[in-house]
Amino acid sequence: MNHQGHGLALDHAIFRTPNAVTFASKSAARGKHHTGYTSPRYPNGMGESYELVDFEVGPPDGWNPTLVSHEGFFTDVPGFESLAEGESSKMLGSLSLARQGRHFYWGYSIDPERLTDPAEDTLENVVRYMATQRGARTTPFVCDTRRSLWVYLALFRESGYRRGIEEHFLGKVLPESRAGYVPTPEGLQKWLAENLAFVFSGRGGRHASERYGNTFEVDVDAKALGTPNAERASLEAWLHLAASADAAERELGRHLLARYVDPAIAPAAWDAPADWYKKWRERIVFVDSAGFWWLEDPTLAPQ
Amino acid sequence: MHRTLATLTLTIVGAFAGDADAQAPLTVHGVPDGAPFRVRATATDRELAVTLELDPEWHAYSRDIGGGRPVALTLDAGSDFMAGGALALEDDGQGKLVGQVCLALPIEREGDGYELSATLALQVCDALECLAPMKLAIKGEVSPLRVLLVVAQEDVRAERIRAWFAARGFATDVTTYTTVDLATADVHDVVVADSDVFQKHGVGMDVVARFPRTATPIVAVGFIGTQLCEAHGLAMTSGYI
């Protein structure tokens, strides 16, 4: 990432108070690596041009790797704030200013001699804003999100990179979950369409990988039911099954609830699923990166 | 409802805030017993924020509309702070202040100390009567935010950064990645973890991995920042390439 930024969340406090920050910008033409993608700062995609601003007076003396949020890599983390993107050749969605819980990521290596005037004002605002975040909670990182599987296809489309499809995908997905997978762009596209909504990870053991961090498994139970694991309607369907008079249905529902409801908020037994849901329905979120759990929304005050 | 830009941003800050420890609570003197309103005041060294909460059917005035005296928030002579901009507030679009109202006054420190002394002048009315105009005294100490700057080594670069924070009104202590500890970090309002660019930052990743898990918010900079966030178990570094 270089010294520039774009897609600034100018209505956020870090650009408004106490310093009202004004950046001079210059238009740049959308690049190939921007085209066809969305990101937290460009939820509807980028227009034909975009506005670049300088945070540092010139390119840094050296290079910095890029933090990316490819089309919502971890935007399901409650309270996560993506506030500016860095100018990166990788892809739309490079983080340069972001907050998660009590941590703020300032992607520009700070040296006062290098900061532009508006960047100095922004940095002061950031420090003052963060002073109000003591006690802010977030979710712990457990595993990559399912979007990391989609990225193999995106990288091929962007640059022709095939190794993700032909090699990394195989290491990232359990063998039984990729039976019949054809290691081509078309094969991956087909696999994603059929399975991405049903993958999960983060349970240790078979989901652990020394090389890849974590591996993914397709939930055959959720897939057979047609219940994508991150959807509220699916949770409600499992709760309904868990209360069924039919023993097999009841067992399946409870099995899925045990798989996806964070043990920290799950009941000791799923004997009264409706009561549990009445208590928790307004306080839970599903987060891939926290381990594919329905868990308590950390942005809410603890009960 | 009419909202000025400044009050809107104040609202945004409030919506995301955790514990607002960094805002010093101030005392408010002069509110009559049984008054149909309450007043709270806090401040940082850049902003005096006053919350006026009026009982139902009571109102104050944001401007002269031929009713009561409009509110005015001013810094007193002898205060270590002076006004740095116009008062921002929100009214009902008709010049009346109703319900809970936030008044935000940009301030700048001008004295040697940190004593803030201000006056809120207002008059409250209902449909049939107005109470006598009154002046409320707002007082307290407004300390600068305490920043702990964590650097690779205490060199000229670190001194430039420390001086920059001081010029911006922060009370700044400096330590290094190898010596920073939890207790020291947590007595500050914000920790700023500095980083030079990749391969020039001069800090081992094993050292970064031991960075204390603070209650104090952290501004994590550049490449070390990515490693620090990852070490602290944040998802936002899961897309690192």
**pLDDT tens digits, A115-125:** 999 999 999 99
* pLDDT tier at A147, thresholds 50, 70, 90: confident
- Determine whether the interchain pair A105/B239 forms a contact, defined as Cβ–Cβ distance below 8 Å: no
What is the overall mean pLDDT for chain B? 88
List C-alpha distances in Å: B196 to A54, A60, A67, B112, B222.
18, 9, 16, 34, 7
Max mean pLDDT range (A292-301, B6-15, B192-201): A292-301
Closest alpha carbon within chain B to A149? B239
Which of B19, B168, B240 faces A65 most closely, judged by CB atoms? B240
Report pTM. 0.83
- Determine whether the interchain pair B218/A130 forms a contact, defined as Cβ–Cβ distance below 8 Å: yes
Max mean pLDDT range (A110-114, A153-157, A248-252, B14-18): A248-252
Answer for the pair A60, B196: CB distance below 8 angstroms, yes or no: no
Contacts of A16 in chain B (CB under 8 A): 5-6, 9, 12
- Determine whether the interchain pair A105/B236 forms a contact, defined as Cβ–Cβ distance below 8 Å: yes
* pLDDT tier at A231, thresholds 50, 70, 90: very high
Q: What is the pLDDT of residues B23-58, one digit of tens each?
A: 778 999 999 999 999 999 999 888 999 999 999 999
Least confident among A145-159, A174-188, B99-113? A145-159
Distance (Å) from the alpha carbon of A300 to chain B's nearest alpha carbon: 10
Name A98's bridge partners.
A82, A105
Alpha helices (H) along chain A: 117-130, 147-159, 163, 169-172, 185-195, 220-225, 232-242, 247-260, 273-280
* pLDDT tier at A261, thresholds 50, 70, 90: very high
Q: What is the pLDDT of residues A174-203, one digit of tens each?
A: 999 999 999 999 999 999 999 999 999 999
Q: Which of residues 75-104 of B touch A (CB under 8 A)?
A: none
- What is the Cα gyration radius of chain A? 22
Interacting residues of B68 by C-beta distance below 8 A, sequence separation 6+: B60, B61, B123, B124, B125, B130, B133
Check residue B19 and give its pLDDT: 40
Average pLDDT over residues B78-97: 93
Q: Which has more confidence, A35 or A193? A: A193
Q: Which has more confidence, A83 or A159? A: A83
B6 CB within 8 Å of a chain A CB: yes
Question: Reduced to 3 states, what is the DSSP secondary structure of residue A276?
Answer: helix
Answer for the pair A97, A13: CB distance below 8 angstroms, yes or no: no
B240 CB within 8 Å of a chain A CB: yes
Residues in chain B: 241
Average pLDDT over residues A141-158: 88
List C-alpha distances in Å: A42 to A45, A86, A207, A261, B89.
5, 13, 32, 31, 32
End-to-end, the C-alpha distance of chain B in Å comes to 46
- Determine whether the interchain pair A134/B12 forms a contact, defined as Cβ–Cβ distance below 8 Å: no
B160 CB within 8 Å of a chain A CB: yes
Domains, chain B, in order of start with CATH, read 2-141 (2.60.40.1250), 146-233 (3.40.50)
Euclidean distance between CA atoms A111 and B6, whole angstroms: 29
Q: At what angle do helices A273-280 and A232-242 cross, to 10 degrees?
A: 150
Closest alpha carbon within chain A to B214? A102
Question: Reduced to 3 states, what is the DSSP secondary structure of residue A82?
Answer: strand
Euclidean distance between CA atoms B123 and B156, whole angstroms: 55
The token pair that represents B16 in the structure block: 């995301």
B234 CB within 8 Å of a chain A CB: yes
Which of B189, B194, B196 faces A131 most closely, judged by CB atoms? B189
Instruction: State the complex-level ipTM.
Output: 0.87
Euclidean distance between CA atoms B48 and B39, whole angstroms: 13
Closest alpha carbon within chain B to A66? B241
